[in-house]
Chains A and B, each alone.
Chain A
Amino acid sequence: MSAGRVTPAGSFPATFMVTDMNKTRTSGRTIGGLRTLSLQAPAVTLLFLWMIVPLAMTVWFSLQRYNLLMPGMTGFAGLENYEYLFTDPALWSAMGTTLLMVGWVLVITVVGGTLLAVLFQQDFMGRGIARVLAISPFFVMPTVSALVWKNMMMHPANGVLSWVAESLGLPAVDWFSSLPLTSVIIIVAWQWLPFALLILLTAMQSLDEDQVEAARMDGAGPIAIFFFITLPHLKRAISVVIMIEMIFLLTIFAEIFVTTSGGPGLATTNLAYLIYIRALLDFDVGMASAGGVVAIILANIVAIFLVRMVAKNLES
């Protein structure tokens, strides 16, 4: 990328650079370079291996006829696995499910997170504690939140939600059999809403209070202030939230694993879960790897934008 444009001098106070140059002058330029190399080598090498070896293997397997249940049938398959994958209705259903999950969770968490961040920025009694309570779900492990919701909240007979519905005279909803995808979306959104809130609250702190004050003096109401000052200020933080969530939400797994196992039918099978089914339940290594390659490509489309944005931030 634009790595070459940044000089060390650009990112450090002059005083430091001067002495640093003195040092390199006395100890020789290569030593500084060598030192940098040896200090970074373990991290870089390990990450390189962690990324490249499995990635190459996934691509390689995706071109092979390789099923653990049929040890005799191996060999180069060309694009056969991809052909099977793309003509498999399960893939398109899984893509649709993935899209719905990511989309709805994003809408709920970003809109809800922004409104909550504005609210928790106001001054009220015990605000600190209320904030802490509201961000807590983010620290709950996914298997716990999924099971607590599935049983104690959404159980059709004994769950809190059905009790509330009955108390209000409404019919109880059998969440996981009649609205499986919605149920999973609610659970995942509950986990990620606090993430959006946490990031946006932090971004709110750098909002210029004088600017808000000036706008208020000029007669701007709270809604105008929100749309013309707060929202533009949060724009960058919101896009960071969207991109980071997208990368993680593309491969939601544990929540599905412990609640619906992808069902009923394929109703809650997303791309990650489909790959898991193909790999560890059907033992079709070739097919699962082809699915893996598709997942990697999808994630990379998002990642490019995120990396660019972080790079821009690194320059300033």
Chain B
Amino acid sequence: MTTAKNQTVARAPAAPATRSALASALLNRRLWLGVLGWTLALVIFFPIFWMIVTGFKTEAEAIADPSLIFSPTLENYAEVQSRAGYAKFALNSVVVAFGSTLLALLIAIPAAYSMAFLPTKRTKGTLLWMLSTKMLPPVGVLVPIYLLFRDTGLLDTRTGLVIVYTLMNLPIVVWMLYTFFKDMPKDILEAGRMDGAGTLQEVIYLLLPLTLPGIASTGLLAVILSWNEAFWSLNLTSSQAAPLTAYIASFSSPEGLFWAKLSAASTMAIAPILIFGWLTQKQMVRGLTFGAVK
């Protein structure tokens, strides 16, 4: 933009023809960038688009040559529910993802509060240590967790998954809340304290309402991570507590190869999370990089 302007200024006496040539060159540049950007975006998005489309085809159309001309049917959506009991798995996902997120927020809010507002010499060390627990590869502790779950009857229970997901996300939740709390203007809390608010009142009436957007995006990130988690769900659940990740995996067996049904089930499984992701993409970076990129 500015380049063009400067050049036009430099050639002030030039005829209007040159100016419009420059303007059209600029327009051309924007046009080509647009074509390139959109092409790449559509190529990257294509598998998701194709999955959504296939969900509305019949099984015969799904394995025929790729085509966008067909009469859409909702049959797969109905059958996924009636034959496989999609709702049960969806309910498991909802309970586990939201349950673990609420629990993690409940444990993390006091911790993040004290780290942001009552820091001690050890605060930074504690934060970094929490981050380091996140780097423990799950497969490294698969054996003990599996045996502990087997012996305590937590195998294939939603409670078991809630426990694992809460702990899995706790470091990220504490970190993200900590960065949001630190961004909060200190004067406001101060004013509240002057007016005689105790810690609890300060948290409930000032901190939580003021940092609600931050807490919400932290919660959404935890929901997304739990919803999509597919190591523990595949290893610790079978039929009772299986969330959607494990249910979708059951389509991988050769006798379960129904593309249209797989697509319908997958579309339902990813739709809510895709929307959450679009809503929180900006704030999510903080949580995903532990505040190292803002």
Contacts and interface: CB of A to CB of B under 8 A. Distances in A.
A7 interface: yes
Contacts of A275: 139-140, 142
B121 A240 contact: no
B95 interface: no
A218 to B, nearest CB: 12
A136 interface: yes
Per DSSP, chain A at the interface is helix
Interface in B260-280: 262-263, 266, 269-270, 273-274, 276-278
Interface residues of A, number: 118
A13 B183 CA distance: 11
Contact of B66 (A120, A124, A160, A194): A160
A47 B171 CA distance: 8
A133 B42 contact: yes
A19 B118 contact: no
B118 A202 contact: no
A295 B140 contact: yes
B248 A141 contact: yes
B201 interface: no
A250 B277 contact: no
Nearest to B127: A314
Contacts of A142: 228, 230, 245
B139 A276 contact: yes
Interface string A234-276: 0011001000100100110110011100000000000110011
Contacts of A314: 124, 127-128, 291
A273 B125 CA distance: 33
A147 B277 contact: no
Interface stretch (A35-43, A72-80, A82-90, A100-108): A35-43
Contacts of B91: none
Contacts of B33: 119, 122-124
A136 B45 contact: yes
Q: Which of A53, A119, A127, A148 has the most CB of B within 10 A?
A: A148
Contacts of B230: 141-143, 253-254, 257
Interface in B32-61: 33-34, 36-38, 40-42, 44-48, 50-51, 54
Contacts of A46: 107, 166-167, 170
B240 interface: no
A120 B36 CA distance: 10
B289 A47 contact: no
Per DSSP, chain B at the interface is helix
B235 A280 contact: yes
Contacts of A203: 293
Contact of A144 (B3, B146, B231, B266): B266
Nearest to B38: A130
A120 B41 CA distance: 10
A137 B51 CA distance: 12
B239 interface: no
B291 A133 contact: no
A42 B130 CA distance: 13
A229 interface: no
B227 interface: yes
B83 interface: no
Interface in A124-145: 124-127, 129-145
B110 A42 contact: yes
A310 interface: yes
B144 A57 contact: yes
Interface string B217-248: 00000001001101100110000000011101
Interface string A8-50: 1001110110011001000000001101100110111011001
Given A44-B130, A152-B47, 18 more contacts: A8-B119, A15-B186, A35-B118, A36-B118, A36-B120, A39-B110, A39-B114, A47-B171, A51-B136, A55-B136, A57-B147, A58-B143, A119-B36, A124-B34, A139-B228, A141-B248, A142-B230, A253-B139
